[in-house]
Copies of this chain bind each other. A is one copy, B any other.
Amino acid sequence: MSTSTSSPFLAACRRQPSTHTPVWIMRQAGRYLPEYREVREKVDFLTLTKTPELAAEVTLQPIRRFGMDAAILFSDIMTPLEGMGVDLEFAPGPVIARPIRNAAAVTALRPFEAEESVPFVLEAIRILRHELPTSAPLIGFAGAPFTLFCYVVEGGGSKTFSTAKAFLFGDSAAAVSLLEKLADMTAAYLRAQAEAGAQALMLFDSWAGLLGPLDYRRFALPVVTRVLDRLGTVDRPIIYFPNQGATLLADVTTLAVDVVGIDWRTPLSVARATLGSAKAIQGNLDPAALFAPAAELERRIDRVLEEAGPAPGHIFNLGHGIERTTDPDQVARLVDHVHERTAVGGAA
């Protein structure tokens, strides 16, 4: 399968110039949108992720309303874990009643088969490829192995994931075996999404920042490499987001990914300097900037654009997921301002 690079988003992924800086927003399909809340009044979160027509509908909502330059599949990084035999509920955050905390539990995990375990995800992608405009390519995604590891060991969300880190440091052999199984699942999952039609692939390493550089290099980085190796040639740009990864970027440079997502703590000029010219960058407006008055929001957007510099290869985004209390009109302002400010031949 081939992907078009006529879209500003796909062009930026490949560090090619385009008509404007593309923009999309992490969690753009979500609770800050009244039309999303309307859907959620009828079905719970898990049902929504498992019903292709509804998942496609909420994926399309922000594209219709704001005209973003990319769509991201509505799903959850935890979704494929059930296919490995992990029991999973949302209450409303992820809850794993039987967390994986020893070698025997790691051994008992099942190999993952995408068509069997997540047919609803692949069907949602096929629907979306029919319904999305060519101006908004579809991003498929998965959690990076270390981030999934944090959840399946801890048994749910946490501020410090101390149980997960205790397992990682206390029984490193079993932990690495779990990380590798998660990497193999993730590669198969991303490949299936690409084959179903996803035009770019994103790996969310939401908890990378729990590790110092040495432990990141020892435990998290090798299994991202393993995902990329097993994924092989898919001819799709790959975005890697090491959240809170300010001190990890030098290591991230070694990864064969096209785009690196940057949270709002690292100025994009610093990220560019560290990552070099071979990677595009994505980010990094502080999500709280959307609560600022309009003029201040626009100043903050301009600062991000300035930090990114004039070279191609910048995808505008927030530095983290949008907050549910955000005013949708501020999102419209953001998308329009990025487009106007960066339009080639437009007013500077």
Interface residues of A (CB under 8 A from B): 159-160, 162-163, 165-166, 168-170, 209, 212-215, 244, 246-247, 264-267, 270, 286-289, 291-293, 296, 303, 319-320, 323, 325
Which residues of chain B come closer than 8 Å to A270, judged between CB atoms?
Answer: 247
- Work out how many copies of this chain go into the complex: 2
Complex: A267 Cα to B303 Cα, angstroms? 29
Which residues of chain B come closer than 8 Å to A168, judged between CB atoms?
Answer: 288
Task: Judge whether A169 and B247 touch: CB under 8 Å.
Answer: no
Interface CB pairs A-B, < 8 A, 24? A160-B320, A160-B323, A162-B323, A165-B286, A165-B288, A166-B291, A168-B288, A169-B286, A169-B288, A169-B289, A169-B291, A169-B292, A170-B291, A170-B292, A209-B244, A209-B265, A212-B265, A212-B286, A214-B267, A214-B303, A215-B286, A246-B246, A246-B265, A247-B265
Which residues of chain B come closer than 8 Å to A296, judged between CB atoms?
Answer: 169
Which residues of chain B come closer than 8 Å to A264, judged between CB atoms?
Answer: 212
Complex: A293 Cα to B175 Cα, angstroms? 14
Closest 4 CB pairs of A and B: A165-B288, A166-B291, A169-B292, A246-B246
The majority secondary structure among interface residues of chain A is helix
CB < 8 Å: which of B170, B209, B267, B287 contacts A213?
A: B267
